[in-house]
Amino acid sequence: MMINFRNDYNDIAHEAILDLLLEVKDQSNIGYGEDVITDKAKQLLQTHFDHKIYTSFMVGGTITNKTVISHLLKPYEAVISASTGHIDVHETGAIEQTGHKIITIDSVDGKINASDVKRTLEQFQDFHRVIPKMIYLSNATETGLIYNKSELIELYEVAKQNDLILFIDGARLGVALTSKESDLTLNEISLYSDIFYIGGTKNGAMLGEAIITKHEAMHNNLTYSIKQNGGLLAKGFILGIQFQALFTNNLFFEIASKANQNANLLVEGLKQLRIDFKPTPTNQQFLRLKKSIVDSLKKNYQFEIWADHDAEQTIRLVTTYRRNEVEIQSFLRDLSKLI
């Protein structure tokens, strides 16, 4: 069997989620998230915050981004994103399909900063252009990097000074918060943003993302937008089960920590092999290798080809809680024979 480093959503779900599914399999529930399981999940999430939050559950990342952005922006308002942002490069024009322009900021490392936003705002000053209304960022980013507290506070301050909404894509929020370089808590993510979501799909869940906002006005009528975008699951309690399990006994953070620990094992092994690469603090690592080496590795390992460079290719290796030291050492051993 091939060892899978392709992504962090290649298994059905963590066994604790499967156990809870079996535990409640004979239970009859109200639909559309109006059930006791979903209520329990929301209560568990609330315990991680020192302020009132409003929670909605959705099935996946793209529909979450599309729904949040279209719900909060008027047709002539736009969203600012890094040029590498998921909404710009990996969502099949979902944001544009709802009529919203994405204003991209060139980014080498996948991050944007307060100065980037200020410079961008200066270019949009009259009614011949769209109004920048939202800042979109991912934590962790598409490049595996994370935002620290000071960076996030600076972005949030710029947002407040310019009447912008700060929206955080948290598809990989778990690995961001449990990274050894992180100085942010889940509570602080809410404090220094307007709306964000906690990704379950890439962190052990069968499916599911939890949209969270501290603003009641942003939450009001969000269910209508979710329904209109085809995101309101009739069997909403299935989403509730995911997050009830994930936020019981801190399983969400345990899963993410394990993914990062496996990434650290991979990074240390690559350093010992003297591979020239820039490690990230999360579970995505990027290596530039000769195509002949990549072709050989493909025989036993799954991974994404991130970029082509003539005779070389950049590959992405993603670790999860399901990978183990034996599998990682196997990859390192095979790579060592090829370099």
CA 88 from centre of chain: 14
Model confidence at 108: pLDDT above 90? no
Find residue 169's DSSP bridge partners: 138
- Distance CA(239)–CA(56), nearest Å, equals 10
Strands (E), 126-270: 131-138, 165-169, 195-199, 209-213
CATH number of 3-9+252-338: 3.90.1150.10
Q: What count of residues does the chain have?
A: 339
Residue pair 2/302 in contact (Cβ under 8 Å)? The answer is yes
The pLDDT tens digits of the residues spanning 16-55 come to 999 999 999 999 999 999 999 999 999 999 999 999 999 9
Domain with CATH 3.90.1150.10 in the chain: 3-9+252-338
Find residue 196's DSSP bridge partners: 168, 212
The pLDDT tens digits of the residues spanning 178-224 come to 999 999 999 999 999 999 999 999 999 999 999 999 999 999 999 99
Tokens of 235: 């069997």
Question: What is residue 103's predicted lDDT score, i.e. its pLDDT?
Answer: 98
Place of tokens 């009259």: 126
- Distance CA(220)–CA(68), nearest Å, equals 12
Domain with CATH 3.40.640.10 in the chain: 15-251
Find residue 77's DSSP bridge partners: 131
Residue pair 132/163 in contact (Cβ under 8 Å)? The answer is no
| Mean pLDDT score, 229-235 | 97
Question: What is residue 1's predicted lDDT score, i.e. its pLDDT?
Answer: 83
The pLDDT tens digits of the residues spanning 242-286 come to 999 999 999 999 999 999 999 999 999 999 999 989 999 999 999
CATH number of 15-251: 3.40.640.10
